[in-house]
Structure 1
Amino acid sequence: MSTGETRFQGIAITELAEQFGTPLFVYDGEVLERTFRDLRAALPAEVDVFFSLKANPNISVCALLRSLGAGAEVSSHVELVTALRAGVAPQDVIFLGPGKDAAELAACVEAGIHAVVCESVEELLQLDELVAAAGTGPCRAMLRINPDFATKGSGLAMGGKPRQFGIDLDVLRAARPALAGLRHVELTGLHAYMGTRFLDHADVVHNTREILAAAERLSDELGVPLGTVDFGGGLGVPYFDNEKELDLARLGAGLHEVVAPFAARHPDCRLIMELGRYLTAWAGTYVVRARYVKQSKGEWFVVADGGTNHHMAAVGVGSFVKRNFPIRHLGRPAEPAVRAYSVTGPLCTPNDVIAKKVELPEVAPGDLLGVERSGAYGPTASPGLFLSHGYPAEVLVHRGTAHLVRERDTLADLLAKQRLVDPLAGAATGAGAEVER
């Protein structure tokens, strides 16, 4: 064991790897807490922070953020149940997404969440009919708008152009009679989400200013009360070279200039900023173990036990040029680099590269490598079933103790839901029935 190896709250990485195996996602609870508190201190007091579970739906991660004061933004029935079981109060939950089914809408009504964010007029009318059929009290809903102004500074635009998300303003204006005809849905505000991976505070401030102004105009035009305005979030994390960290102090100052006069005009309006990546990415490390180190036509490769099947974001989807997430040798993080390695996983595809020609200290079989800032869009945004390797374990280190917060998929887990049809007898049996864990 190297005395200079990476530690999480004093726990050596080799100890974690031995106890929980690899590949492994490690979430540092201290980093989660520090990230949330630093952001909370910078933002205007009038703004509520909601955690977007799509970034990391682990129930223990959600519970920790809830304990710090975060609400929850969910986009599926399972995420809704996760948030509620993690202790988030229903009045601090919103449900959004462009393709909700009737069961999801019914679950929202039953739970009594703060609001269903409707992304089409048709969905709003369906919700009204569902509540009428259920015979329950009125359900609160917000309208997600697709604004006319262009997104500034987004790594991925979510509004301001043709999108499946939200309602175009001209469509919304034409739907005034339908809005006036609602009997079982109480419209309580508006939502807009312009994009993600914003790294310049000025872009976030600009988008917030435009969204709040649009909310005021639409409230007057459509008669929709401003009980809640969700102006999105999408704060970015600098993964790649030449990217700078978001300036929280300037972000907070800029948002205060925009939010304070709006809040003074609408003192009873709840303002929501929804964040996923920014809250969790910093806290996560994807840990893999080198199986082989080899040369191929003059290039060095580390073939590890995990790759893009658990960390698809590291592929650089949407980029024309492969760019590397921060990666380091966890056993010898302070030692100087000796050569460039491409770090690959065990998949049968040349795209399974989580780091390309990255400078590292000497790597030998058995060494542990870590892809940093990996606490968001890891396993649940990755093809974990490719080659049937399954999903890795997830560990939360909290107050100096390592907690297993998701078990690794076993061979039995992966086969349990399949059914084997006997070609001769035609009988279907459980493929995993006789597989030992």
Structure 2
Amino acid sequence: MNKDMVLEVVKKYGTPVYIYDGNIIMDKFKTIRNSLPDYIDIYYSLKANPNISITRLLSELGAKAEVCSLTELITALRAGVENKNIIFLGPGKSIGEIKESIEHDIFAIVCESLEEIEIVDKISNYKNKITNILIRVNPSFTVKGTKLTMGGKPRQFGIDEEIILNNRTLFRNFKNINILGFHAYMGTRILSESTICENTRKILDLSKRLSEQLDIDLKVVDIGGGLGVPYFDKEKSLDIYFLGQEMTKILEQFHLEYPNVQLIMELGRFLVAESGMLVSEILYKKKSMGKNFLVTNAGTNVHMAAAGLGSFIKRNFPITSIKLDDSKKIEKEVYNITGPLCTPNDTVGIDVELPILDVKDLIVILNSGAYGPTASPTNFLGHGFPAEVLVIGENMYLIREKDTPEDLISKQRLVNFNLKYTITE
């Protein structure tokens, strides 16, 4: 996205603002779609960016939807995703979420405990329905090369492979569920093609083994996803063409053996992360004990990932800047970039080399299309949610309005206590 378009968005909607390049989203989807066989379905993981318009854009491209809450389910449906193209994941689904999933006849509920399967069966019996489920497996194996491991270790996700095999007779007792197959998600932010392929091969083998031992007619295998994007120095993008070739070999072998089994891949960060940028304005420029600081109007509260919270080591997201007066000689300076919050954790960039900047110039944090404001404490100090704008070509669309103080206060209730006494010394 060019500088003029960014400035046009900022002029119209102010800062901080998230800007998403729709062309990048479309290119990412088309690239992965064209690299994989037609018989594997791509499900968009709304958790990465649950904006209804981005969900709609991906749905129109052909993506189905993976949701993890009632709000995400409603978002997907209102975005135009057909109910039969939705799966519901999550280790802690509420009774209400399970009821709504059954009521809407979504494609499948991915069950993550024996107790959850029992609940789905009971509710389905009460509603006189048969509900499709996938069993999420926590395998006995692990896969190296993931930034965040989600399987193969003690986890709240899924049912241990051993527990499934020790309860094989239990699954025959459920009368109101239809076990379509299995789901496994081993990790996220994977930037190794060989790791993704190994992961896929092992999940397919696991599904074959479990279906045989549980005597389940295998209809669906969800291989998860976890495809990463580069955020930090020395990280490289996945070679999608090479990955597609290697994955196709593995999938084709399975498909020849199980031609009627539907395959699912879940993608979130991979589809949207590189499309987004967070644009903030420099409020103050200052020095402290020899360090240059730029205090901006966006920090941890709207971009927790860039601030490094939850990471053992603080590493900078790719950061650039826009000078409002670019007629001056371009010289470099090293800055610490912070947000407006009253906490030392509110730092989004450490020792970032940029052109010499002034108050009102813009800071741009790239690769911010995934896990941005919705994964951040946007209500901290009452700053609220920033505006979100989707740009496709020369067209810009406001896809979320900025929160106002009234938006944040309106849900609170003022109580008049009418105390009959005063506190004295």
Fold shared by both chains (TM-score > 0.5): yes
Per the alignment, residue 46 of structure 2 pairs with: 53
Task: Give the match for residue 113 of structure 2.
Answer: 120
Query: Residues 53-103 of structure 1: CA distance to partner in whole angstroms, max 9, x if unpaired?
Result: 000000000000011110000000010010111111111110010011111
Which residue of 42, 61, 76 corresponds with 1:83?
76
Q: Following TM superposition, by how much is the alpha carbon of 1:332 offset from its aligned partner in structure 2, in angstroms?
A: 7.2
The yes-or-no answer on 1:330 pairing with 2:322 is yes
CA distance in 1, matches of 2:348, 2:224: 30
C-alpha distance in structure 2 between counterparts of 1:58 and 1:321, whole Å: 29
* 1:319-358 to 2 correspondences below 5 Å: 319-331=311-323, 338-358=332-352
Name the structure 2 match of 1:73.
66
| Structure 2 contact 323–357 (Cα < 8 Å) conserved | no
Q: 1:368 is matched with which residue: 354, 362, 370? A: 362
Secondary structure of the residue aligned to 1:274 is strand
SS at match of 1:376: coil
Kindly indicate whether the alpha-carbon contact (under 8 Å) linking 1:191 and 1:231 is maintained by their aligned counterparts in 2: yes
> Structure 2: which amino acid aligns with 1:289?
E
- Tell me, what secondary structure is at the counterpart of 2:66? strand
Aligned AA (2:36): L
Letter matched to residue 375 of structure 1: G
Match of residue 387 from structure 1? 381
Q: 1:337 to 1:178 in 2, by over 3 A?
A: farther
Partner letter of residue 124 of structure 2? V
1:126-275 superposed matches below 5 A: 126-135=119-128, 137-275=129-267
Bigger mean CA deviation after superposition, 320-329 or 190-199 = 320-329
Residue 40 of structure 2 is aligned to residue 40 of structure 1: no
- Deviation (angstroms), 1:336: 5.4
Q: Secondary structure at the residue paired with 1:12? A: helix
Number of the residue aligned with 1:432:
none
- Report the secondary structure of 2:356's partner residue: coil
Distance in 1 of aligned mates of 2:171 and 2:331: 63
Task: With the length of structure 1 as denominator, give the TM-score of the two structures.
Answer: 0.93
Percent sequence identity is 47
Aligned match of 1:92: 85
Encode CA deviations 1:103-153: one digit per residue, 9 max, x unaligned: 111111111111000000110011000011112x21100000001111221
Check conservation: 2:138, 2:152, Cα contact below 8 A: yes
Equivalent AA in structure 2 for residue 48 of structure 1? D
CA drift at 1:202: 0.4
CA gap 1:219/1:256 in 2 versus in 1, 3 angstroms: same
Tell me: CA distance 1:318–1:411, structure 2 relative to 1, closer, same or farther (3 Å): closer
Separation in 2 of the partners of 1:372 and 1:263? 39
- Structure 1 letter corresponding to 2:281: R
Counterparts in 2 of 1:336 and 1:379: CA distance versus 1, 3 Å: same
1:20 aligns with 2:13: yes
- Deviating above 4 A after TM superposition, structure 1's stretches of 4 or more consecutive aligned residues are 332-337
Q: 2:302 aligns with which of 302, 310, 314?
A: 310
Deviations 1:23-48 (A, max 9, x none): 00001111111111111111222211
Deviations 1:362-398 (A, max 9, x none): 1110011110000000001001111111110111112
Secondary structure class of the residue paired with 1:420? coil
For residues 137 and 174 of structure 2, the distance between their equivalents in structure 1, rounded to whole angstroms, comes to 18
- Name the CA distance, whole Å, in 2 between partners of 1:372 and 1:333: 21
Instruction: Return 5+ residue gaps in structure 1 as ranges.
Output: 1-5, 427-437
- Residues 197, 247 of structure 2: 8 Å contact kept: yes
Return the alpha-carbon distance in structure 2 between the equivalents of residues 308 and 336 of structure 1.
29
Matched-pair contact (CA < 8 Å) for 2:291–2:335: yes
Deviation (angstroms), 1:262: 0.4
